[in-house]
């Protein structure tokens, strides 16, 4: 048995950068540009059309992480970007290597994550001939990228990569593809570097200052509001607006609800924090929104998972929309006052002008509504020997002191994480929200770790379905010395689909029971640490053992099989009409007409 074959995380070889006029190959110019732009790690997988680039890589001080699938390379770049705020870079070959990136690119697009994907392409003379491993990758990625480039000349490589990094990170961030033909990588040209800031005639991410009359209008709407609610989205995190939002909320005493991707943008433990809104948001949050007379939406886009049916969404509320992307204004919900620009600047400007307000009535109502929430009650459930996902997440929050970087897939575990892990810090929840990509969590968590190896512990929380989509990356963890903690919420089902089958498809569990490998043995097979937890009493020790271990540790949490996520707004229903966690006073059969749900708040 051989030990891990990993290179150190911090590269020790010194960059060998070119002088102006030095002749370099296109392949060298790729790394030259990345190194000069501060990129020190890329996630990728080699192949024919990108081989010249790989051959030129050593010596530029850039670490390469060899993934087990290109989809993971894109997710790692994404996780890296979301955890750090820097651009993540993925690299792959033409054809299947490139198309494997697409799910990761679309994930980054929907969640506005800045990544750059560099792909090899067949030689320019063969483009259009259906050559081996040829695919029209700029064509394929057109609808799922912020922008893309096809580069056929070595002379164009530097500018394309610089522009790609700039476009990915600026304005509303997003993925950019740079597809470089093999002959462009092989050709040589003199190195040129334009040190001026990049300026593109059709791309102007800078925003004008908010006109004072709009600030005044917002202030008068705020002054007139009796039951306002702030809706805090991922834009708050992206613009670094947490402090500005806290100052604004504290001065106006307006409660703050977060979207899924906005969690952590406003501290969950703050007294003005309401919690998560939307389909699996807490009942009192959705109720506060439905009864509100003014919504102040910050960096969020009124996604269908947040609004429920639009016809009945917050019917009495006027809406102020603080948003960077003009195309989001009035897309789903008609707003009364759009404030376009950077969230931090706008919130700061509003805080300076707005009147200080007390809102005791508002809080009395909200606290009253909190009383009947099962989500809150479950945290104090006695230990009956059963293991519920809610317990696992709640304990994970307790024993990581709420400070871990938690990375989730999509599904039940994702919602339980959002409900029970209280995020107090921005960039500590990384989840596939918009696209809802299974298989995202493990590679994204690995990318997050690579962005800050000395940072807070990374906890990958995934279901037994999602983890199997990219479980091969455990091998990458072992080879590259990546340390993440993997909590598998293993219920033997594709849980969220099973829940929908239970609620909306007559309890017919078609294709949702899923068999898994022995995850402890799987970890062991990779030379990693594996643990199994079947009772609540074992949760703490497992969490602590994982954190203490220097290598990636996989914990197989065998949770209750047919537990559901409550509360829930059925798809297409009004936000206020939530299915609550049933209790013994209201038999579940009477509520739903079919399968009983095992757990109740009074268990």
Partner 1 sequence: MTSPGSRTFVAYVEDKPGVLNRVASLFRRRNFNIESLNVGKTHMPGVSRMTFVASADRDTALRVEANLYKLVNVLHVEDITDAPAVYRLLALIKVRVEPAQRPEVLQLVEVFRAKVVDVSASTLVVELAGTGEKVEGLVAVLRPYGIEELVQTGVVAMERGSGHGPSLASASLRPRFD
Binding residues for partner 1, per CB under 8 A? 138-139, 142-143, 146-147, 150, 167, 200-204, 207-208, 325-327, 329-331, 334, 340
CB atoms within 10 A of CB 484: 30
The nearer residue to partner 1, 331 or 540, going by C-beta atoms, is 331
> 16, 132, 353, 544: which is the annotated catalytic residue?
132
CB of 603 to partner 1, least distance (A): 47
Backbone angles phi, psi at 228, to 5 degrees: -75, 155
**DSSP class of residue 433?**
-
Residue 25 DSSP SS3: strand
Q: Which residue from 534, 54, 497 is spatially nearest to 542, judged by alpha carbons?
A: 534
The nearer residue to partner 1, 184 or 366, going by C-beta atoms, is 184
Q: Which residue from 267, 274, 328, 253 is spatially nearest to 298, judged by alpha carbons?
A: 328
Q: How far apart are CA 458 and CA 82, in angstroms?
A: 13
CB of 288 to partner 1, least distance (A): 28
Residue 432 DSSP SS3: coil
CB of 172 to partner 1, least distance (A): 8
388 is catalytic: no
> 133, 186, 345, 479: which is the annotated catalytic residue?
133
Q: How far apart are CA 523 and CA 530, in angstroms?
A: 5
The nearer residue to partner 1, 163 or 464, going by C-beta atoms, is 163
480 is catalytic: no
CB of 498 to partner 1, least distance (A): 32
Sorted by sequence, the CB contacts under 8 Å of residue 130 that are 6+ apart come out as: none
Q: How far apart are CA 588 and CA 69, in angstroms?
A: 44
The nearer residue to partner 1, 199 or 380, going by C-beta atoms, is 199
Q: Which residue from 433, 242, 438, 250 is spatially nearest to 354, judged by alpha carbons?
A: 250
CB of 242 to partner 1, least distance (A): 25
CB of 145 to partner 1, least distance (A): 10
Backbone angles phi, psi at 24, to 5 degrees: -135, 155
Q: What share of the chain is helix, strand, coil (3-state, %, to 5)?
A: 40, 15, 45
Please say whether the beta carbons of 33 and 64 come within 8 A.
Answer: no
Backbone angles phi, psi at 251, to 5 degrees: -70, -35
State the sign of the Cα–Cα–Cα–Cα dihedral 162, 165, 169, 175: positive
The nearer residue to partner 1, 200 or 355, going by C-beta atoms, is 200
> 43, 57, 70, 302: which is the annotated catalytic residue?
70
> 32, 57, 182, 562: which is the annotated catalytic residue?
182
The nearer residue to partner 1, 9 or 340, going by C-beta atoms, is 340
CB of 323 to partner 1, least distance (A): 11
How far lies 206's CA from each of 87, 115, 120, 122, in Å?
Answer: 18, 20, 32, 36
279 is catalytic: no
Overall size of the chain counted in residues? 603
CB of 311 to partner 1, least distance (A): 17
Retrieve residue 153's tokens.
């000349």
133 is catalytic: yes
Q: How far apart are CA 448 and CA 296, in angstroms?
A: 31
182 is catalytic: yes
> 276, 279, 446, 496: which is the annotated catalytic residue?
496
Look at the block and give the residue holding tokens 């057109």: 142
Retrieve residue 535's tokens.
């009772």
CB of 326 to partner 1, least distance (A): 4
Retrieve residue 11's tokens.
């590269």
The nearer residue to partner 1, 70 or 328, going by C-beta atoms, is 328
Residue 180 DSSP SS3: strand
Task: Give me the active site residues, please.
Answer: 70, 132-133, 182, 496
């Amino acid at each position: 048995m051989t030990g891990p074959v990993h290179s150190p995380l911090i590269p020790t070889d010194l960059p060998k950068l070119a002088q102006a006029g030095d002749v370099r190959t296109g392949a060298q110019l790729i790394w030259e540009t990345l190194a000069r732009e501060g990129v020190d790690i890329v996630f990728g997988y080699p192949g024919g059309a990108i081989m010249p680039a790989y051959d030129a890589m050593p010596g530029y001080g850039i670490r390469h992480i060899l993934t087990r699938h290109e989809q993971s390379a894109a997710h790692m770049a994404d996780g890296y970007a979301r955890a750090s705020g820097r651009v993540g870079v993925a690299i792959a070959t033409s054809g299947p290597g490139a198309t494997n990136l697409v799910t990761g690119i679309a994930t980054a697009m929907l969640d506005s994550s800045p990544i750059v994907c560099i792909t090899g392409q067949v030689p320019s003379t063969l483009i259009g001939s259906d050559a081996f491993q040829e695919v029209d990758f700029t064509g394929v990625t057109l609808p799922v990228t912020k922008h893309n480039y096809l580069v056929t000349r070595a002379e164009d490589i530097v500018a394309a990569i610089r522009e790609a990094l700039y476009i990915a990170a600026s304005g509303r961030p997003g993925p950019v593809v740079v597809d470089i033909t093999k002959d462009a990588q092989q050709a040589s040209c003199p190195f040129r570097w334009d040190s001026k800031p990049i300026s593109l005639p059709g791309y102007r991410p800078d925003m004008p200052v908010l006109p004072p009359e709009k600030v005044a209008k917002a202030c008068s709407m705020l002054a007139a509001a009796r039951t306002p609610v702030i809706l805090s989205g991922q834009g708050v995190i992206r613009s670094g607006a947490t402090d500005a939002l806290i100052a604004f909320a504290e001065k106006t005493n307006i409660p703050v609800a977060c979207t899924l991707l906005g969690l952590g943008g406003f501290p969950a433990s703050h007294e003005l924090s309401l919690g998560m809104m939307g389909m699996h948001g807490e009942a009192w949050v959705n109720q506060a929104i439905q009864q509100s007379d003014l919504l102040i939406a910050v960096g969020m886009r009124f996604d269908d998972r947040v609004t429920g049916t639009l016809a009945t969404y917050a019917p009495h509320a006027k809406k102020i929309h603080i948003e960077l992307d003009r195309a989001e204004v009035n897309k789903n919900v008609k707003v009364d006052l759009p404030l376009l620009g950077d969230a931090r600047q706008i919130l700061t400007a509003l805080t300076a002008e707005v009147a200080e307000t007390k809102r005791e009535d508002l809080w009395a109502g909200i606290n009253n509504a909190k009383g009947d929430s099962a989500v809150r009650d479950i945290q104090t459930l006695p230990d009956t020997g059963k293991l519920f996902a809610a317990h696992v997440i709640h304990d994970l929050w307790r024993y990581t002191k709420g400070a871990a970087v938690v990375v989730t897939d999509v599904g039940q575990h994702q919602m339980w994480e959002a409900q029970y892990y209280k995020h107090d810090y921005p960039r500590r929840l990384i989840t596939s929200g918009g696209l809802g990509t299974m298989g995202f969590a493990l590679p994204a968590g690995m990318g997050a770790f690579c962005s800050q190896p000395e940072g807070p512990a990374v906890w990958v929380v995934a279901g037994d379905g999602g983890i199997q989509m990219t479980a091969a990356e455990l091998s990458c963890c072992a080879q590259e010395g990546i340390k993440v903690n993997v909590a598998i919420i293993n219920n033997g089902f594709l849980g969220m689909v099973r829940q929908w089958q239970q609620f909306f498809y007559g309890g017919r569990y078609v294709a949702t029971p899923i068999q898994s490998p022995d995850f402890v043995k799987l970890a062991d097979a990779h030379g990693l640490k594996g643990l199994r937890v079947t009772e609540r009493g074992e949760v703490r020790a497992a969490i602590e053992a994982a954190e203490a271990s220097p290598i990636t540790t996989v914990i197989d949490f065998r949770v209750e099989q047919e537990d559901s996520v409550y509360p829930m707004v059925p798809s297409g229903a009004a936000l206020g009409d939530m299915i609550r966690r049933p209790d013994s006073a209201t038999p579940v059969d009477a509520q739903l007409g079919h399968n009983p749900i095992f757990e109740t708040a009074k268990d």
